[in-house]
Chain A
């Protein structure tokens, strides 16, 4: 059955080719079913391969070599796949969730004119992701890495009519370039050191590297992982990436692609083990800080998807914290449970947005439980999972990370625990605002028209509540009449002010994936129960793949039973506290009261994004302009200046503009002189 491995990526690729060529002819919704079929087929193949690997026993390491791709003398890069417990686990949940989200998209995208294209991209994405996970060498992983980046870029910009989406796509592309650079350098150094890129060669040999080299490689890999997995300081693209269609957010920007960085770190844990001590500290610190910072931002966002986006960044931070603490199994464990509950949350939010007629602002929601029963039930389950309520899946995986973080350093453990509190708080805030608080749409809409005089703007500037107004007011010239609904600017919310509007539940293509994911979010934790070694299924399964990352090849001492119990109790307490407090603040839908808990600094995401944008628009831009100026003025000037000298004094220093044959001829002549001088220097040096 292991020989079927090549089918896993081949099926989505075939789906992509078919959809790209005949998508238009297949039409809506048939193209969606074709895409779903290939994604599901890939899942089935993944299950078979998984079963085959399970039966194989022993080292559980299978390589399938398809053909040689880059032959270069003594070194060659193969197109080949590596199936080991780690990649088998990854392909299983990647294909599974992908299949569900394909199904969901049939419903979600049904009104979209580019429906077939969307599924073509989705299939291409699944293919790239599987290449990333299955590749048996770093270059193939990099290829998939670039592929998922490109697909993400395409899918974010999918609705490219919206300028914001196009620019978000660009931001994702450029930020990821920074990360890719790190990855590329790492690949290069690995190649230089080993003359090979195959995991089966480089990972066992990593222990023999000089410490500084291993450190350099690990740091560069970490830079790459930071870009892809949205860690500080490269996280800015992910929240913006939510401008894309919601299924894309669920699949790419929550469940799969953004976890590629974590996968890379776990895959290459041998390099971390061989590097200096501070690297693991760096990873843990960055992860912990990202988790905390992003969670704080999540407490003050109004956009239902933005909250989830920052929550994703925060949860990814947890995974890096786990990697830095040497808890690779916990990182993968959390990656899986997170994929379940976060995909469920995103898809649920998509269902809400869909039911609300494309409304994303949580302030215009409320009491949706009555109208969207299935969505709300699944959303609530996923909420309990992410908030860390036992026995839902998130509790188990997060707890394991916190214990290891505590062992690494009590500070990290403590900060992780605080983040858990904030997580419970902001998720409860979201659930309350969306499903339970008094409804603020439809008949509850109170229209008022306000004439904004300059004085009114000043008045509005007082108090946090008025901040949004002030922001809106700043964009309209003073004195204009602005319509406010429920005390908020109406712009973009026309759809919900209709008093006859009623939210509606989504169709079965959308609810079935929700239910499946919700069930997984409940029971996902049973993959790795911390009671005895016998119940740590995932840990014993992954052991061969992560062994190299342990110092000396021995699994480090885990948390003691006492610590486990202690942390379980504390997490439960923290989760309960967060939930109770958030509920007390937001349950009656009093905006004036709630606004005190949503400071502008956090709404603005610490102003980090704005600062980056300001830099790129200001000084950064000026650097590029400066370079252009340098080329225009100094380089051309040097050429032309030489010309002036040659053309003697009479003419003075008249500028020669470009576009003239003679200045080009001068360029050639100067070049000739340079070349001849370079040659002559060789003669003189004899």
Chain B
């Protein structure tokens, strides 16, 4: 228990000065560190720092495309280091010719602060994909908008680091650190377009509200700590297994407050109010990353904290998630159809999607997790594709996002319009796109868990939200009136698709169709990506400090004995 501080110091090497920072005290034991488990985090974090260092040392020698290529390589590297973990978790002997090291099966590392299981590896890979797509989209965008320097890529990699930490967190404080690493980088990303006041406004709004919600999250963690005596999910679970708190008000309120912070990150109603403004104001590639990578990390946090750590209390938090899911689906759909700005409409649609994912999560079943992961994976491609089109259609200045700006889009840019239709149909849950299978899985999980009404609400909201997408499609395929056509020069109407963005869009399109027709492979992988809490084998030196000695705090009998210090 008391080794926690040391553990935390190891868990987030990007934020602290390293192992040396944890000054040894009589009660603190330095845990063994399973470096392979930390590799994805290290590659992303150090990759970011390295990029920043190198470019500040040798400014001007690297072209801006070089940054994007570097970022893609780093993300690929992180994914490559995550792949052997997947093999280990699933007890493969080797990956190709690469012998994998024991222990096989899911495991905890760094004194239980980091959990490596199928779930965390899946989310890690997903965040890697989001980073790659985000970098590809941004390459031309940054050049077009005259945003100099490698900062975008550095921040992208750093926020991905935070996301991966969240995905692997087995400790609420580690989760908090990951959340903040992720968020702080994204606050800056949202505000990175210095020439657009909207971008800075979005950054500040996101920052203020994000800090606000993080404080709620942290307060929740504090209460959980007070109620259980630990922030480590493994220990909490062990404690709850042997001792059901009779007065669990503190614990439940703490859980509620944690839900505020995580619900904010995934833009669940009623914590959604920032998302339309921020998606609208932030540079479009950043919005793409926020809707994909950040959301994936947020759901990873929700799953780990609630499903894993407090699975026992499922009957307590399920109604709340139920409420959030229903509200998100309905508000996202209903308010979304009144929007006249494409990026705002996509933001509301993203709220609607968050509702569907929450619906899968609230089932609190393996099927629900599978549905959630499948949804996250397919949704990443659809939403990045949609925001990718918006990136291109926004043109220089990133301001052409009104529905009216999309009139006649099918004439001027038939290929882009066709892709957009595909992504929008996918998001609406059109059959034979991945969105249909995803919605199906989510609804099936809810039905299995007996959440009838929620499933019905989901279907109704899907029907309503179809109009969000329909409006955009209609706008694109409506003829431009003569006067409007004359006003715009033909060469401005035609958008040249840069290589990077084109690659990202084609990848998204292939994924949207591919996972729609043949969802089996992804579904199986998502099914194997189970989240598990594994207790780390207790090192001999620390045997005195395991969960058995824990006592929860009983508010009615606050201990009055003086402390040892």
Is A–B contact present in the complex under a CB 8 A cutoff?
yes
| Residues in chain A within 8 A of chain B (CB atoms) | 67-73, 139, 142-143, 146-147, 157, 160-161, 166, 170, 173, 177, 181, 184, 188, 192, 627-628, 631, 659, 661, 663-665, 667-672, 674-676, 678-680, 682-683
Rounded to whole angstroms, the CA-CA distance of A620 and B448 in the bound complex is 36
Q: Report if B431 contacts A (CB, 8 A).
A: yes
Chain B residues, CB < 8 A from A628? 338
Interface residues on B, range: 35 or more
**How distant is the Cα of A46 from the Cα of B519 in the complex, in angstroms?**
29
Contact B204 A661 (CB under 8 A): yes
B338–A679 touching, CB < 8 Å: no
- Cβ–Cβ < 8 Å partners of B523 in chain A: 71
Partner of A170, one of B323, B448, B474: B474
CB distance from B275 to the nearest CB of A (A): 10
- CA A68 – CA B441 in complex, angstroms? 15
CA gap between A628 and B331 in the complex, in Å: 11
- B477 contacts partner chain A, Cβ-Cβ < 8 Å: yes
Counting from the closest, the 4 A-B pairs by CB-CB distance are: A671-B270, A679-B256, A664-B273, A676-B256
Contacts of B430 in A (CB 8 A): 146
User: Is A668 touching B204 in the complex (CB atoms < 8 A)?
Assistant: no
Pairwise interchain contact B216-A672, C-beta atoms closer than 8 A: yes
Q: Is the CB of B205 within 8 A of A664?
A: yes
Are A665's CB and B249's CB within 8 A? no
Give the total number of A-B pairs whose CB atoms are below 8 A apart. Answer: 120
* Contact status of A143 and B432, CB under 8 A, knowing A184-B459, A679-B320: yes
Q: Determine if A146 and B213 form an interchain contact, defined as CB atoms under 8 angstroms apart.
A: no
> Is B147 part of the binding interface, using a Cβ–Cβ cutoff of 8 Å?
no
A631 near B431 with CB under 8 A, answer no
**Contact of B320 (CB < 8 Å), options: A146, A157, A161, A675:** A675
* B 513-529 contacts with A by CB, 8 A: 517-520, 523-524
C-alpha gap A173/B470 in the complex (Å)? 10
Distance in Å from the Cβ of B360 to the closest Cβ of chain A? Answer: 12
Chain B contacts to A: CB under 8 angstroms = 204-205, 208-209, 212-213, 216, 248-249, 252-253, 255-257, 259-260, 263-264, 269-271, 273-274, 277, 316-317, 319-320, 323-324, 334-335, 338, 367, 430-432, 437, 440-441, 444, 447-448, 459, 463, 466, 470, 474, 477-479, 517-520, 523-524
> Which one of A628, A661, A675 has the greatest number of beta carbons of chain B within 10 Å?
A675
Q: A69-B519, A668-B260, A683-B252 are in contact. Are A674 and B270 (CB under 8 A)?
A: yes
Task: Assess the A659–B431 pair: CB atoms within 8 A.
Answer: no
Q: How far is the CA of A47 from the CA of B39 in the complex (A)?
A: 61
Closest to B249 in A: A683
Complex alpha-carbon distance, A659 and B344, angstroms: 13
Q: Would you call B334 and A631 a contact (CB within 8 A)?
A: yes
- Asked whether A668 lies within 8 Å of B519 as measured between CB atoms, the reply is no
A675: which of B204, B260, B518 is its contact (CB, 8 Å)? B260
Is B260's CB under 8 angstroms from A671's CB? yes
5 pairs of residues in contact across A and B, judged by CB atoms under 8 Å? A70-B519, A667-B270, A675-B320, A678-B256, A683-B252
Would you call A661 and B463 a contact (CB within 8 A)? no
A166 touches B478 (CB 8 A): yes
A161 to B408, CA, bound (A): 10
Q: Are B431 and A146 in contact (CB under 8 A)?
A: yes
Known: A627-B334, A679-B255, A679-B320. A670 touches B431 (CB 8 A): no
Contact partners of B519 in chain A: CB under 8 A = 69-71
Main secondary structure of the interface of A (DSSP, over half): helix
Name B470's closest neighbour in chain A (CB-CB): A173
Q: Choose among A147, A161, A680 the residue that contacts B252 (Cβ–Cβ < 8 A).
A: A680
Kindly list chain A residues whose C-beta atoms are within 8 Å of the C-beta of B263: 671, 675
Complex CA–CA separation, A177 to B263 (angstroms) = 33
Q: How far is it, in angstroms, between the C-alpha of A672 and the C-alpha of B269 when the chains are bound? A: 11
- Which residues of A lie under 8 Å from residue B209 when comparing CB positions? 661, 664-665, 668
Contacts of A67 in B (CB 8 A): 518, 520
Q: Which residue of chain A lies nearest to B455 when distances are taken between CB atoms in the complex?
A: A188
Q: How far is the CA of A71 from the CA of B253 in the complex (A)?
A: 38
Residue of chain A at shortest CB distance from B430: A146
- Distance (whole angstroms) from the CB of A657 to the closest CB of chain B: 13
Closest to A159 in B: B479
- Chain A's closest residue to B460 (CB) is A181
* Nearest-CB residue, chain B, relative to A664: B273
Contacts of A160 in B (CB 8 A): 477-479
Min CB–CB distance B543 → chain A (angstroms): 36
Say how far A428's CB is from chain B's closest CB, in angstroms: 40
Q: Is the beta-carbon distance between B260 and A682 smaller than 8 angstroms? A: no
Q: CA–CA, A665 to B207, complex, Å?
A: 11
